[in-house]
Structure 1
Amino acid sequence: MKKVTLVLISLMLVLMTGCSLEPPGWAKPKAAGSLKDAKIGLSISTLNNPFFVSLKDGVVSEAAKQGIKVIVVDAQNDSAKQSNDVDDLIQQGVNALLINPTDSASISTVVQSANNLGIPVITLDRSADKGDIKALVASDNIKGGKMAAQYIVDQLGKNAKVIELEGVPGASATRERGKGFHEIADQQLKVIAKQAADFDRTKGLNVMENLLQGNPDVQAVFAHNDEMALGAIEAIQSSGKDIPVIGFDGNKDALDSIKAGKLTATIAQQPELIGQLAVKAAKDVLQGKKVEKSIPAPLKLVTK
């Protein structure tokens, strides 16, 4: 049904532009050097996560400095809603799209729709599996996964028994953080259980409760984000155990938890910087400048 709709939209665009295959004027990138009346659409996977709120804030603040209008939409961790949201942004005439995908595969169709209309797409924190992405602005998730595994090895020694809480299946961050973690863990640790908790604190709590029952000898936990890590800590405290937990993101709640002696460590990203770099990349693209395909934001290990 969605494909049929996209075909009909494409046919209508052809008719509206005098049977030309050129996209309508509002869908074309800004002329080189011109940012007058530029409008960017920002699609966030969820604003129910402090990390992505900070990322959004970085986009909005940098866009204001550049005199660019931003329209923000929240996918609420629903890939179908995100696709519809991006379609709506396209209809509103945005000149560029900044997308933080809920699912890297599902978002590909609307990325390709934007490509067909000549609207540049930049992804933040997570990539899209298909389509032309002008730039991915993100931390090196593979490196971050390695940092987490190496920290556990350094603290507990080789062959420590570890549980891994995975993010949203299909998200590039889930794949990459897991890949980096296992590059070291498969050689020097024993991953006795792993399960998705979808980057969500409540799910992290519930999944961790179940995994603790089946794996009472666990010695450490690596969670693909801080929200799941904070949920895991609640489950561990309720069980009366004392198990180190390492998260990923460096959001405020996680940093406060580290100071309080609860969360052991986090691989801290800089979400506001990611947002700022994405706007700068969009500006360069709209002005006809070349940008790097991968724009990294530095990571750091934070402990008490």
Structure 2
Amino acid sequence: MITKRTFGRLAIAAAAATLFTSAMAADVTVAYITNGNTNEGWTLINGGAKKAGQAKGVKFIELAADKGELSRQLAIVEDMITRKVNAIAIAPVDSAGIAPAINKALAAGIAVVAVDTGITGSKITSYVATDNIKAANVQGKWAAGEIKDGDTVIYVTGDQGQSTGQERKKGFVDALNAGRKNVKIVEVATTWDQTMAQNGVEAALRANPNAKVIACAWDGGALGAKAALMAAGKKPGDVKIAGFDGSPGGLDMMKQGWQQANAAQMLAKIGQVGVETAIAAAQGKKVEARIDTGSFLVLPANVDKFAADSGVGQFMKVKAK
């Protein structure tokens, strides 16, 4: 016979079991798949992602495409589908090339959030990144203000197989051409490789010794441009450099007088918000399809404040005075 006391114990046990089951159900597995880049900017982005992945009730898996290889990243996505993760946050190596695997993940009910770089040919859950065109517009407008009509500008691209590289180039070129007439733009093509940037700028300077500005799609390119200028015997400020990222190395260049402007991203925020969005989607919450993590034009007059406010200052070698 079930007494009131026994019934009470059973009720308590049932309630505890329900709570335990609910707690288990609340746990989600989120995979963060980065692109294999190891520069300063990606160190900050990945750090922000890892911080978000420490949230309670989240199993966080962090993986990288070896040497930025698409085949490796495709294999990782396939493995995450097999492991039935709840969400994937990914910085794609190739915006179009990754789409088939991403579509397969979406079809399997896995939420997918693109981090920093978009995905073409796939209707992903969310895209978390800087508005690259908007930020590059500001960079291009600044460059237009530093030159005269008919002057020469060297532009160091990022990988044109990725939406990030495409958008930054478009934003810069559109704003520069809107601000100045008959500008000669000498393009140095890279795949986010600093050595490629240095070699390309060295060649561009030999062919165009009167170039006034070197604008770069990322700060690694700006560091390559600095090395090229030094090899040419130039001094800080002889040719103005505009960077893009707001990375520690880029801001150090500014403190040293080598860089005059930077279209700075909120780097750690990109990774953190990207993974937070993936977690929310995994938990069944509604998320925005496009999240702009913001940008800021850094100049010598405000570099110290930006470094302090963004957290980048702790990684810089040239400290604020």
**How far does the alpha carbon of each residue in 1:116-166 deviate from its partner, in whole angstroms, 9 at most, with x for none?**
211110001111001221110001100111111111122334443111111
C-alpha distance in 1, partners of 2:150/2:178?
Answer: 9
Counterpart position of 2:47: 57
Alignment-derived partner of residue 278 in structure 1: 274
Matched, 1:39 2:24: no
User: Which moved further from structure 2: 200-209 or 185-194?
Assistant: 185-194
Tell me the residue number matched to 1:81.
72
Q: 1:205 aligns with which of 198, 201, 220?
A: 198
* 1:177 correspondence with 2:168: yes
Q: How far apart are 1:95 and its partner, in Å? A: 1.3
CA distance in 1, matches of 2:101, 2:23: 27
Q: Which residue of 2 aligns with 1:141?
A: 132
TM-score, normalisation: structure 1: 0.85
Q: What is the CA distance between 1:105 and its match in structure 2?
A: 0.7
Aligned to 1:227: 220
Note if 1:187 corresponds to 2:178. yes
Q: Which moved more, 1:128-137 or 1:278-287?
A: 278-287
Q: Does 2:122 align with 1:126?
A: no
Cα gap change, 1:34 to 1:268, in 2 (>3 Å): farther
Aligned alpha-carbon RMSD (Å)? 2.0
Does the 8 A contact of 1:34 with 1:286 survive in 2? no
Offset at residue 35 of structure 1 (A): 6.1
Alpha-carbon displacement from aligned partner over 1:43-76 (angstroms, at most 9, x marks no partner): 1112321111211111111121344222222222
Contact 2:30 2:279 (C-alpha < 8 Å) held by counterparts: no
CA–CA distance in structure 2, aligned partners of residues 301 and 93 of structure 1: 41
Q: Which residue type is aligned with residue 55 of structure 1?
A: I
- Equivalent residue for 1:107, pick from 86, 89, 98: 98
Q: Where does residue 12 of structure 1 map in the other structure?
A: none
SS at match of 2:287: coil
- Check 1:121–1:239 CA distance in 2 against 1; reply closer, same or farther (3 A cut): same
- Kindly indicate whether the alpha-carbon contact (under 8 Å) linking 1:121 and 1:132 is maintained by their aligned counterparts in 2: no
* DSSP 3-state at the match of 1:64: coil
Equivalent residue for 2:252, pick from 249, 256, 261: 256
Q: CA deviation at 1:299?
A: 0.4
Corresponding residue number in structure 2 for 1:166: 157
Cα distance change on mapping 1:268 and 1:33 into 2, 3 Å: farther
Residues 82 and 100 of structure 1: CA distance in aligned 2, closer, same or farther (over 3 Å): same
SS in 2 for 1:39: strand
State the percentage of identical aligned residues.
31
TM-score for the superposition, normalised by structure 2: 0.80
Instruction: Tell me by how many angstroms 1:198 deviates.
Output: 1.2
Q: Which deviates the most, 280-289 or 164-173?
A: 280-289
Tell me, yes or no, if the aligned pair for 1:59 and 1:278 is still in contact at 8 Å. Answer: yes
Higher Rg: 2
Deviates further, 66-75 or 142-151: 66-75
Q: 2:288 aligned with 1:298, yes or no?
A: no
Query: Per the alignment, in what secondary structure is the counterpart of residue 185 of structure 1?
Result: helix
CA distance in 2 between counterparts of 1:175 and 1:267 reads: 16
Following superposition, the deviation at residue 87 of structure 1 comes to 1.7
The residue that corresponds to 1:70 in the other structure is 60
Q: Contact 1:35/1:287 (CA < 8 Å) preserved in 2? A: no
Q: Is the 8 A contact 1:164 1:191 kept in 2?
A: no
Contact 2:30/2:282 (8 A) holds in 1? no
SS in 2 for 1:148: helix
CA distance in 2, matches of 1:260, 1:119: 47
